[in-house]
Amino acid sequence: MFKAILIEKPEETQSVSITELSEDQLPEGDVLVDVAYSTLNYKDALALTGAAPVVRRFPMVPGIDFSGVVAESNHPDFKPGDRVVLNGWGVGETRWGGLAGCARVKGDWLVPLPEGISSKQAMAIGTAGYTAMLCVLALERHGVTPEAGEIVVSGAAGGVGSVAVALLAARGFDVAAVTGREAEAAYLRDLGASSVLDRSELTGKPRPLNKERWAAGIDVAGSTVLANMLSMMKYRGVVAACGLAAGMDLPASVAPFILRGVTLAGVDSVMCPKPDRLAAWQRLASDLDMAKLEKITVEVPFEEVPQIAPKFLDGAVRGRIVVPVTPELG
């Protein structure tokens, strides 16, 4: 038996409980993992609160991320004792996820944990940090260099934004960090931001084109924020878009794309091919300052997860939240 968070919806209203499950209740898969750590992301908060229809099947163990140790394997790439990490693939949405002591999944979904990253650090990174790295790689693929100019990052005090600021600063970029929380300015500068902007600069009614300000951007918000960011890109600027916290709409025009040659690069972390995942995790191992990662990480007891989740929806969460499940696994 192992502990787990379980979301159930027998009728119209869902419920969340902490319970015990057995291995024979787990879904099919060719690898069984003893979970050391999990984490909380915005999508997990939506699942736990029921604020959006993230969970597609009930009952559901949430948690789109986990790190741990292989217990059993019928997959050629993994053997018992291997340290692994999982992000996405519908885990925590359509298949039982990482907020439990054990997880049975397809081995193709797992990534070997790189040397130099502990199981706890892997979840301090989590989907948020892994997505931030995918965004940085997208900018690099489009030729963005520190010499091009300042990079803007929306939602900078959140999980994706915090890691993105740290990664970009470590690569020598000047970073304009955008946040709706003035009190986070010192925190963002400590991560490496060269300037901190109030979110209101990107929430006004978008114009087709605004004054050119930034060489590139990473956006977690979508909607008006993304539309304004696009309108302020320099000639041949690039925006990596990975989130929709402000909405799925895009009240923009084609002007930035046609008149300035701006590129909008979509970044998906859920179904991202394994070679890209491996590249992202290797770069995280080499590029991310683990001392800065520790500064943006808060550990929350397993039993308190249901109470913490609503804070994401209120925009009251800074950085990354790690949830120890079986921390003695290392």
Using one digit for the tens of pLDDT, what is the confidence trace for 165-176?
999 999 999 999
Do residues 99 and 59 lie in contact, with contact meaning Cβ atoms separated by under 8 Å? no
pLDDT tens column, 82-116: 999 999 999 999 999 999 999 999 999 999 999 99
Identity at 90, one-letter amino acid code: G
Average pLDDT over the chain reads: 95
CATH topology of domain 2-113+300-329: Quinone Oxidoreductase; Chain A, domain 1 (3.90.180)
Query: What pLDDT sits at residue 11?
Result: 82
Task: Give yes or no on whether 2-113+300-329 and 126-266 have one common fold.
Answer: no
pLDDT tens column, 190-246: 999 999 999 999 999 999 999 999 999 999 999 999 999 999 999 999 999 999 989
pLDDT surpassing 90 at residue 12: no
Backbone phi, psi, residue 107, to 5°: -60, -30
> In this predicted model, which residue has the larger pLDDT, 10 or 283?
283
The angle subtended at Cα 240 by Cα 257 and Cα 129, nearest 5°, is 175
Query: What pLDDT sits at residue 313?
Result: 83
The angle subtended at Cα 310 by Cα 180 and Cα 325, nearest 5°, is 115
Instruction: Give domain limits for the chain.
Output: 2-113+300-329, 126-266
What pTM was estimated for this model as a whole? Answer: 0.92
Query: What pLDDT sits at residue 191?
Result: 95
CATH superfamily of 126-266: NAD(P)-binding Rossmann-like Domain (3.40.50.720)
Q: Could you give the CA distance from residue 289 to residue 43 in angstroms, rounded to a whole number?
A: 25
pLDDT tens column, 43-81: 999 999 999 889 989 999 999 999 999 999 999 999 999
Query: What pLDDT sits at residue 300?
Result: 95
- 188 φ/ψ sector (left φ>0, alpha ψ -120 to 50, else beta): alpha
Q: Could you give the CA distance from residue 199 to residue 182 in angstroms, rounded to a whole number?
A: 9
Query: What pLDDT sits at residue 245?
Result: 87
Average pLDDT of span 303-326: 90
Contacts of 250 (CB under 8 A, 6+ apart): 222, 223, 226, 227
Average pLDDT of span 123-139: 96
CB atoms within 10 A of CB 75: 18
- pLDDT bracket for residue 317 (50, 70, 90): confident
Give the number of C-alpha atoms closer than 13 A to the C-alpha of residue 37, restricted to the C-beta side. 28
Query: What pLDDT sits at residue 316?
Result: 79
pLDDT surpassing 90 at residue 294: yes
